[in-house]
């Protein structure tokens, strides 16, 4: 196991083989379906990992912030969609990015472009709320959508690219049948809207959430898919059936700091500032991570009875069987698969590969890759 000895603080391990395997599977799925793969880079946020995507033939990417767009355009990515709602305060940085790359923005509010004119050409996607109810334009307001689409299409400084959606409610599914139902409903809704807006020019459809993109074989009517979490996967995806545990490509190594045999618990250095506070319900218990057995080439099977059950800022409380506690000593590392790999990676800001290499991420001063 490529860990510093002793392990002084939590480390986020990254299995390059699993990442590349996940990437290969998704690129083949997109090619077979005849859609563009525009993966969301908010999951890994790393120049080095992004280059693995480029090696796999990916040319277009999705980001979730202006800083992320700037970080990746600096590494040679020149077809970028910012899948976060535009507002007028973004104008200057968006224009600068549009001078360096083919750049797209999304609208979640019809008023967001009022009084805004761009000096560099860019694409505009209309963000449609297909059921997650986080944000987006109401698909039932066809007259309002038609007026907005006509307004954008009639401008000379932007191009109306199409309809964009994220079916985030697929994460509430509990089996592949429910995931596919969300997928089919999303494509049907967007297809109907495109017909309703046919007078506004040819419109593409962009969809993308890891559950549906991992399960569906067909993306009828869509031009591109934008999954992100698939690169790493996590326990949330495993629980709903998007992946197998063997597909999860990141694991948190946390040193044990105390043992409490009387209450069946261990304490590790690994808290909310490392994992985030996303949790899942497992066997009626709230769980923030599940242990995996260490292996010479990384990690192996899940230890479902060794669970991260409580978090404070730096501390993690682990429920474990008596025999595990008896053979564990302070300083020993425990490995946990995270519930939400995107937030865990963002919190950690750096990876350690199984070859022992340290890989940096954007943020915190844009540390070098």
Under DSSP, is residue 296 helix (H, G, I), strand (E, B) or coil?
A: coil
What are the tens digits of pLDDT across the range 75-107?
Answer: 999 999 999 999 999 999 999 999 999 999 999
Quick one: which H or E segment has residue 322?
A: helix 322-327
pLDDT at res. 305: 97
What architecture is domain 34-231?
Alpha-Beta Barrel (3.20)
pLDDT at res. 174: 87
What are the tens digits of pLDDT across the range 267-325?
Answer: 999 999 999 999 999 999 999 999 999 998 999 999 999 999 999 999 999 999 999 99
What are the tens digits of pLDDT across the range 204-220?
Answer: 999 999 999 999 999 99
Q: Taking the model in full, what pTM does it have?
A: 0.95
pLDDT at res. 259: 98
Domain ranges of the chain: 34-231, 244-360
CB 336 within 8 A of CB 280: no
What are the tens digits of pLDDT across the range 31-67?
Answer: 999 999 999 999 999 999 999 999 999 999 999 999 9
CATH number of 244-360: 2.40.37.20
pLDDT at res. 1: 56
The H-assigned helical ranges of the chain are 16-33, 47-55, 66-73, 91-98, 142-153, 176-196, 210-215, 235-240, 272-275, 322-327, 341-348
What are the tens digits of pLDDT across the range 125-157?
Answer: 999 999 999 999 999 999 999 999 999 999 999
Please state the separation of Cα 145 from the chain's center in Å.
28
CB 17 within 8 A of CB 317: no
Under DSSP, is residue 256 helix (H, G, I), strand (E, B) or coil?
A: strand
pLDDT at res. 364: 52
Under DSSP, is residue 29 helix (H, G, I), strand (E, B) or coil?
A: helix
């Amino acid at each position: 196991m490529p860990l510093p000895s002793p392990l002084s603080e939590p480390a986020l391990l990254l299995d390059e083989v699993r990442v590349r395997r996940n990437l290969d599977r998704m690129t083949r799925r997109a090619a077979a379906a005849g859609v563009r793969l525009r993966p969301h880079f908010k999951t890994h946020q790393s120049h080095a990992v992004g280059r693995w995507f480029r090696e796999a033939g990916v040319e277009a990417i999705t980001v979730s912030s202006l800083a992320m767009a700037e970080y990746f355009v600096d590494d040679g990515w020149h077809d970028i969609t910012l899948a976060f709602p535009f507002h007028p305060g973004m104008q200057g940085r968006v224009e600068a990015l549009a001078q360096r790359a083919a750049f797209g923005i999304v609208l979640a509010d019809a008023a967001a472009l009022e009084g805004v004119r761009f000096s560099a050409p860019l694409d505009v996607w209309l963000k449609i709320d297909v059921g997650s109810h986080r944000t987006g334009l109401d698909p039932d307001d066809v007259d309002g959508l038609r007026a907005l689409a006509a307004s954008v299409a009639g401008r000379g400084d932007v191009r109306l690219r199409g309809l964009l959606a994220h079916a985030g409610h697929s994460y509430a599914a509990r089996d592949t049948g429910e995931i596919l139902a969300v997928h089919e409903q999303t494509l049907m809704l967007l297809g109907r809207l495109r017909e309703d807006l046919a007078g506004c020019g040819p419109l593409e459809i962009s969809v993308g959430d890891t559950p549906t993109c991992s399960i569906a074989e067909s993306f009828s009517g869509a031009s591109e898919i934008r999954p992100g979490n698939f690169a790493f996967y996590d326990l949330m995806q495993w629980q709903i059936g998007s992946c197998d545990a063997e597909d999860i490509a990141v694991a948190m190594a946390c040193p044990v700091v105390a043992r409490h045999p009387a209450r069946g618990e261990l304490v590790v250095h690994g808290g909310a500032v490392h994992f985030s506070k996303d949790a899942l319900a497992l066997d009626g218990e709230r769980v923030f991570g599940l242990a995996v057995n260490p292996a010479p080439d990384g990690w192996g099977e899940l230890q479902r009875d060794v669970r991260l059950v409580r978090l404070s800022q730096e501390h993690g409380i682990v429920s474990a069987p008596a025999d595990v506690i008896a053979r564990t000593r302070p300083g020993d590392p425990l490995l946990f698969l995270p519930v939400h790999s995107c937030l865990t990676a963002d919190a950690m800001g750096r990876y350690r590969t199984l070859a022992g290499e340290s890989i940096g991420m954007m943020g915190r001063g844009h540390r070098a890759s």
